[in-house]
Structure 1
Amino acid sequence: MSLIDDYAEAVAAHLIAAGYARCEPPILQPASIFFDSGEDLRSQLYLTSDVSGAEYCLRPEYTIPVSRHYLASRAAGESVAYSYCGPVFRFSSEHKSEFAQAGIESFGRADREAVDAEILTLSLEAARAGRSPDHQSPDLQGSDLIVRIGDAGLFSRLLEALDLSPQWRRRIARGHTQGKSIAAILNASVNGPSGDHSGVLGLLEGADKHGARAFVEDLLSIAGITSVGGRTPAEIAERFLEQSALKTGAGFSAEKRAIIERFLSIEGDPDQASTQLRRLAAEAGLDLNAILDSFDMRLGFIAALGLDVGELFFAASFTRNLDYYTGFVFEAHDRSRQDEKPVAGGGRYDQLLQTLGAPRPIPAVGAAIFIDRLRRSFAGEAR
């Protein structure tokens, strides 16, 4: 069976008809642009190099390649919508390593809540259009799909409101993206797998930041170390200071831990979850009004586009395993196989384009539709 068959083309045609122009970036991509996307993706890359030693990989997903295409175009910085449908390549010992992926990416729109809702509903419409081209509704009632939603921006705002140090915010946010519990994040060794640096960390405890950085840089200089893994002595010193702050538990109280755990336990009907989140913020004395207003506005736009909000499942702990997501996220799963990989998923990634070279942040949101998984789900085939 061809990867891009009538089923895939029906999905692609629905996306194009919705105003998302077809974009097919090259299959061969610079490998480095995917290294900071998440541990899972990095480990699945098919790598090669040219005669100059430059590393490339087969396209493992579309969001970053389409983003690069947009930034290289004359429309960079403007409102543009793209769709795609083609092969992607990820190593897997259990499934095919080449598979078809369709999807959409929207860049430059300031009406974030409205376009978040559009991306979600259009993705569901397109998935169902592959099954029945005449089906134009994202309605989930009686559907084979269950949709989970979350908000990475809401969690980030909570960590900011708790006045945690940048070190703790980075560590908790990264661990959360990797699916770790708060207990696992807090109990993890600050040294990691690279070795025991407790002696150096002990000397840094209580030292002022300027003196501690100079101390570490002097140690590296005496040892004749000019760089490690591409990091400069100043960057290595900063990492030691971060580890020292984490080791002492500075700025992280039992009260703050309890608030985070309570936040992450909230799930269920999105409207009811919003009420619980506002209650938590009020009782903890945290200002989450702006981000929760945005949350509610998004739900309003989703409802206006014909999707029953009560059919969605919100979880404050829900995240996707790609590091670039910064806001609304979602996944659609086969209702009878909810523990398996999603048939569609996406979210907002407002900071990604700046990391790819844009001079300023550009609003961006998109979704991927996994054709093979959808085909098996709708056809009821054994996996």
Structure 2
Amino acid sequence: MSAESAKEFEALEAQARALLDLFARAGYEPVAPSIIQPAEMFLDRIGESIRSRTYVFTDLAGDELCLRPDLTVPVSRLYLERHPRADVEARYCYNGPAFRFQPQGRSPTRPREFRQAGIECFGVADRDKADAEIVRLAVEGVRSGGLKAFRLRFGDIALFYALLDALQLPERWRVKLRHYFWRPSAFHELLSRLARGERPDSDGPIAALAEKIGKETPERAEELVADYLDVQSLPLAGNRTLSEITERLRDHAADLRSAPLPKEVATVIDYYLAVSGPPKEAAERVAMIAHGAGIDMSASLGALVRRFDRLQASGIDLAPAIFATEFGRDLEYYSGLVFQIESLGNGAEPIAGGGRYDGLLEALGAPRAVPAVGTALHTERLLAAVERAS
């Protein structure tokens, strides 16, 4: 190890000790979940963005495993191992490595193996209180690491879902838009196409295959897809199973048969996703859009404003903060509040992030939905931001 690497390692270790001490004083128990995790558990729940960057392998027993790309899912699994009925409040903190492929090439602030220091809060019924606690501790963690100048960015997944629920649109497109929300470019392409009334990729061999298997049973459809891949000498790729590929083609076939999305509905969604600004002003703009569209979003907007009031009461300065309706498209297990702490200046980038994920534990095997919220700090980025500012 070079002298420079040794110095950075020592700095990261000191930072980790300070963060874990901060979290422990706030009542969070230190835990160390396994680095190797069941691949299916992750790939089904983290979303396309992280899924394609996850290191997946098969061990000698034939089990498909992965190196954890984040720590929220492993800590959630640990909570369920300790509390299978998911009926106990628990607060955990951690500091450890996560692993992601970096498609733009690795760098000092985006290595393939990186550290996350974070906290996860389970089972607290007062969601506003828990949300404020997590954001406050994330801010305190960044400050304890030595970063003084930063900005908070907020989003709210539940608010977007409330918009879709309030709009008059075919249920198929409501489900589809929820699914595509996590991929901004694909979402806008889908929304534009639906508004124009265009059929999705209705020509070519893939569309023909989709239309053919759309009339078959799932079992027969999978056989036909396997035959097609074999004839075309196409290997399975991108961590996709044969059943997943078949299901996507069947979904495509259903798209071909569906009615277009009303243009005025697409316009309202476009207006909504363009909202970005100071939190209270952004909430007012969303209220104006809802009023203009003749829909009622008062309950969701009221919850949003109450959350910001709670954050201010807990000492969070929202004056420089941003609320953006498009923000939060990364990890698909989020279900409500999402936030990010960003460094300022030319090297601005996310230092910490987190949010609410009330549906994740039920998806992992809990008998019911469990209130859950957490945050993780990217410690290499925090250290680099502090060094740039000094």
TM-score bucket (shorter structure) = 0.7 to 0.9
Matches within 5 A, 1:364-383: 364-380=372-388
Pick one of 255, 267, 277 that aligns with 1:243.
Answer: 255
State the alpha-carbon separation in 2 of the partners of residues 108 and 232 from structure 1: 32
Pick one of 172, 187, 195 that aligns with 1:167.
Answer: 172
- Residue in 2 aligned with 1:88? 98
Q: Cα gap change, 1:181/1:39 in structure 2, threshold over 3 Å: closer, same or farther?
A: closer
Q: Cα gap change, 1:195/1:369 in structure 2, threshold over 3 Å: closer, same or farther?
A: farther
State the alpha-carbon separation in 2 of the partners of residues 225 and 67 from structure 1: 38
Q: Cα gap change, 1:221/1:325 in structure 2, threshold over 3 Å: closer, same or farther?
A: closer
Pick one of 110, 119, 122 that aligns with 2:137.
Answer: 122
State the alpha-carbon separation in 2 of the partners of residues 332 and 122 from structure 1: 12
What is the CA distance between 1:293 and its match in structure 2? 1.1
- Residue in 2 aligned with 1:72? 81
Instruction: Give the secondary structure class of the aligned counterpart of 1:217.
Output: coil
Q: Which AA in structure 1 matches 2:355?
A: G
Pick one of 117, 136, 142 that aligns with 1:102.
Answer: 117
**TM-score calculated relative to the size of structure 1:** 0.84
What is the CA distance between 1:17 and its match in structure 2? 0.8
- Residue in 2 aligned with 1:158? 163
State the alpha-carbon separation in 1 of the partners of residues 305 and 244 from structure 2: 45
Q: Which AA in structure 2 matches 1:97?
A: R
Q: Cα gap change, 1:222/1:378 in structure 2, threshold over 3 Å: closer, same or farther?
A: closer
- Residue in 2 aligned with 1:5? 13
What is the CA distance between 1:200 and its match in structure 2? 6.6
State the alpha-carbon separation in 2 of the partners of residues 131 and 16 from structure 1: 19
Q: C-alpha deviations, 1:164-207, integer Å up to 9, x for none? A: 33331233233331222754223567359994325875x9xxxx
Q: Cα gap change, 1:48/1:233 in structure 2, threshold over 3 Å: closer, same or farther?
A: closer
| Contact map agreement 1:90 1:97 (CA 8 A) in 2 | yes
State the alpha-carbon separation in 1 of the partners of residues 353 and 209 from structure 2: 45
What is the CA distance between 1:47 and its match in structure 2? 2.5
State the alpha-carbon separation in 2 of the partners of residues 110 and 194 from structure 1: 51
State the alpha-carbon separation in 2 of the partners of residues 47 and 169 from structure 1: 32
Q: C-alpha deviations, 1:147-167, integer Å up to 9, x for none? A: 110101100110111133333
**TM-score calculated relative to the size of structure 2:** 0.82
Gaps of 5+ in 1: 133-142, 204-212
- Counting aligned pairs with the same residue, the percent is 34
State the alpha-carbon separation in 2 of the partners of residues 234 and 99 from structure 1: 35
Q: C-alpha deviations, 1:241-261, integer Å up to 9, x for none? A: 532245x41xx1111011111
State the alpha-carbon separation in 1 of the partners of residues 54 and 374 from structure 2: 21
- Residue in 2 aligned with 1:289? 298
Matches within 5 A, 1:54-69: 54-69=63-78
| Contact map agreement 1:119 1:366 (CA 8 A) in 2 | yes
Instruction: Give the secondary structure class of the aligned counterpart of 2:243.
Output: coil
Instruction: Give the secondary structure class of the aligned counterpart of 1:323.
Output: coil
Instruction: Give the secondary structure class of the aligned counterpart of 1:114.
Output: helix
What is the CA distance between 1:111 and its match in structure 2? 1.1
| Contact map agreement 1:269 1:310 (CA 8 A) in 2 | yes
- Residue in 2 aligned with 1:140? none
Q: C-alpha deviations, 1:276-296, integer Å up to 9, x for none? A: 222222221212111111101
State the alpha-carbon separation in 2 of the partners of residues 377 and 350 from structure 1: 32
